[in-house]
Chain A
Amino acid sequence: MIFRIFEKKELKNLFEILAAHNKVVGPVEIGKDKQCNPIYAFTEVSDFNSIKLDYTTTKLPAKRYFLPFHEDLSTFRIKDNNWQKTIDYNADRPLIFFGLHPCDINALNKLDKVLLHSVFPMPYYVAKRKNMFIIGIDCVPQPFCFCRSMGSDTALHGFDMFITNLGTRYFVEILTDTAYNFLKNIKTEEPKEKDHILYMKSAAERNKKFTAKVDTTDLAKILDMEFQSDVWKQWGDKCLACGTCANVCPTCYCYGVEETVDINLKSARKTKMLHSCNLIDFAEVAGGHNFRPERHSRLKYRYYHKHRGFVEAFEESLCVGCGRCGESCLAGIKVPEVIASVRGGKKR
């Protein structure tokens, strides 16, 4: 890996140079909550000043740019009794992501495993993913972040460059030649020994700030053993089956497909819509049989898929510990608590 260091003001230059020629997506403040804390989201930006590099976790990940909530898989032209199918992967330009946190980068790495590197890669995802240029940025851990437990607190790959705030300057890790070339447009330096020390100090500082924890030892096995545990029922009683957790999760990718005919009867479309395994009809089949009719069985499934099934298939869990689902869940169902209760096997 190649490292460089540059003055903070240079970042603005870099942004302006990149934004002049590319579409850039970054974290911005979209409002304040009741306690007057800022609410952040990823949107397209053209002004460096609107980007909030010190943002805390966004409510929603940058999902719409790689897994849109609704996406046409294909469209049809209908003529008499014949039809013509057109497939469009809905990617037409590269996007620069200016400031993704490690958890969100790791989320993409996990998605890559199933949507890009496994059998039947999904071109709709791949087309977008291959056109992402990612500038990562370090974060300040929030009380709900348990990414460290999930091994997602640092990103080792899946980005083009990653910047770390060292006070007056940024330390940058460069992974791709594209990033290397981009950086030629601003003034950077070779980091010195003291910069390395500064970097390690800052990392150590950050590590201290992780408070939320999940014990993942033997988790896949424990989940299996506790399949019939009563704790699931207790969580299920609270769950609203609203699907929010899956929608805000950077790694949830399940979907449903709907075909519709346009009202002029001349065209039709097949649309993919992100779904959530907590919704009542997730496993419902023709004739009305539902393989998971109770809320607790669906909630349990979400944990099984993430912390057992995915581990079995890809040696890691499908959760980066960003804590978004727990923060957005109105019922207060949080991953660390659920897992602790399953491990404890005791009543909450």
Chain B
Amino acid sequence: MKPELKFVDIISQQPKMQKRKNDLSSFEYTYRAEITSMYQLTDMETLYRIQIVNPEERRRFAFIPGQFLMLEIPGIGEAPFSISSSPSIHGEVELCIRKAGNLTNFLSKVGRGAIVGIRGPFGTGFPMEEMHGQNILLIAGGLGLVPLRSPIAYVQENRSHFREVNIVYGTKSPQHLLFTYQYDVWIKDDINLNIIVEKADPSWIGSVGMLTDTLMKILEGRDNEFYHNTYAIVCGPPVMFKFVCNMLNKFNIPMQKMFVSLERRMHCGMGKCCRCNVGSTYTCLKGPVFDYWTVMNLKEAI
């Protein structure tokens, strides 16, 4: 026998039709996707509707509320974004993106029709089915409304499965409010919308103050039955969920029924680059959605 090693081609060796999570070729695979519309929500945030180009891939693409994907512009960069649209629409997602740096600034310059790459979906989501039959508190600070828009859409589409639904949404000022055009529809769908801004402008007629003030009003004076049968989803800057979760905790809302979404630096989304680790837990695999009990157990989470 000639003592020569044969080159092992890992891809050809791999059994076909694997699950995406075990498929070697899925690691760097990007769906080509077209930006079909761009809608500027505020000075800093724009809503992008993105559609996977290949119809077959479009059909297969599915996600659950709370998951994120990686969006890439070749040569410019790649970054994680929460999916901000209804999980029942396949192959088309909406992302609300804030201009924050390299990729996000460049993105604001590309036009409709541009082709971008997306990978994903990645991470954990909110257990929407588990919440059936329960009260729901959707609590968002600032950009935190973006990942909440997907569970909100789910709730709208399955409104009869839920009891009382409250959105508590706080921003710095009225100009920072996102998705204002949808508020009426949410209210029509029997969702209580509680908006509060830290600083009003002359045209503002709503509440002014901290988000926790509004939350307090909703929680105060309810019975234990309410507290025990309530799920809370909290998204926003780290300082916010510290306060919010503490308050929810005081009212004895079970920690396993409180969900938060963490944000960390990410390069792969697949538990390899380690940049998103909290303590020593991968935010991209075990998160970004965590229940509050888990968060309490993560060192350096909040």
Nearest chain B CB to A12 CB, angstrom units: 14
Contact between A259 and B74, CB atoms less than 8 A apart: yes
Chain A: interface size category = 35 or more
Tell me the bound Cα distance from A94 to B281 in angstroms.
34
Q: Flag whether A207 is at the interface (Cβ < 8 A).
A: no
* Contact in complex: B76, A259 (CB < 8 Å): yes
Q: List B contacts of A119 (CB < 8 A).
A: 21-22, 270-271, 285
Known A-B contacts A277-B274, A297-B300; A260 and B75 likewise in contact (beta carbons under 8 Å): yes
Choose one: B117, B265, B267, B280; the contact of A284 (CB below 8 Å): B265
Closest-by-CB residue of B relative to A311 is: B280
Give the CA-CA distance A14 to B84 in the complex, in Å. Answer: 61
Interface size on B, residues (CB 8 A): 54
Chain A facing B: main interface SS: mixed
Find the A residue at minimum CB distance from B284: A120
Which of A121, A131, A275, A292 has most chain B Cβ within 10 Å?
Answer: A121
Stretch at the interface among A26-34, A81-89, A192-200: A81-89
With an 8 A cutoff between CB atoms, is B17 at the interface?
Answer: no
Contact B10 A85 (CB under 8 A): no
Query: In the complex, how many angstroms separate the beta carbon of B183 from the nearest chain A beta carbon?
Result: 27
**A93 contacts the other chain (CB 8 A):** yes
Q: Is the CB of B280 within 8 A of A304?
A: yes
Q: Contact check, A122 vs B27: say whether CB atoms are below 8 A apart.
A: yes
Using Cβ atoms and an 8 Å threshold, which residues of chain B touch A92?
A: 7
Which B residues are CB-close (under 8 A) to A2?
A: none
* Interface set, chain B 268-301, CB cutoff 8 A to A: 268, 270-275, 277-281, 285, 299-300
Those of A193-245 within 8 Å (CB) of chain B: 224, 227
Which residue of chain A is the closest to B29 with respect to CB atoms? A87
Cβ–Cβ contact A287 & B273, under 8 A: no
Instruction: Specify which chain A residues have a CB less than 8 angstroms from the CB of B117 in the assembled complex.
Output: 85
**Any A CB within 8 A of the CB of B178:** no
- Interface residues of B, Cβ cutoff 8 Å to A: 1-8, 10-11, 13, 21-22, 24-30, 72-79, 100-101, 104, 113-115, 117, 263-265, 267-268, 270-275, 277-281, 285, 299-300
CA A16 – CA B277 in complex, angstroms? 46
B3:A256 contact, CB within 8 angstroms: no
Q: Is the CB of A287 within 8 A of B100?
A: yes
Of all chain B residues, the one with the shortest Cβ separation from A182 is B3
Interface locus among A50-58, A70-78, A336-344 = A70-78
Contact A121:B78 (CB < 8 A) given known A253-B274, A254-B273 = no
A69 at the interface (CB under 8 A from B): no
Known: A121-B24, A123-B24, A287-B100. 11 other contacts (CB 8 A): A22-B5, A85-B74, A94-B7, A120-B22, A130-B13, A270-B72, A270-B78, A286-B79, A304-B279, A304-B299, A309-B279
Asked if B75 and A21 make an inter-chain contact with CB atoms under 8 angstroms apart, the answer reads no
- Nearest residue (CB) in B for A83 is B74
Q: What chain A residues lie within 8 Å of B29 (beta carbons)?
A: 87
- Mask, A103-116, CB within 8 Å of B = 1, is 00000000000110
- Residue interface mask A169-186, B partner, CB < 8 A = 1: 000000000100110110
* A284 CB contacts on chain B under 8 angstroms: 265
User: Smallest CB–CB gap between B290 and chain A, Å?
Assistant: 15
The answer to the question of A283 belonging to the interface, with a C-beta cut-off of 8 Å to chain B, is yes
| A133 beta carbon closer than 8 Å to chain B | yes
A115-B272, A256-B267, A286-B101 known; A85+B30 contact, CB < 8 A = yes
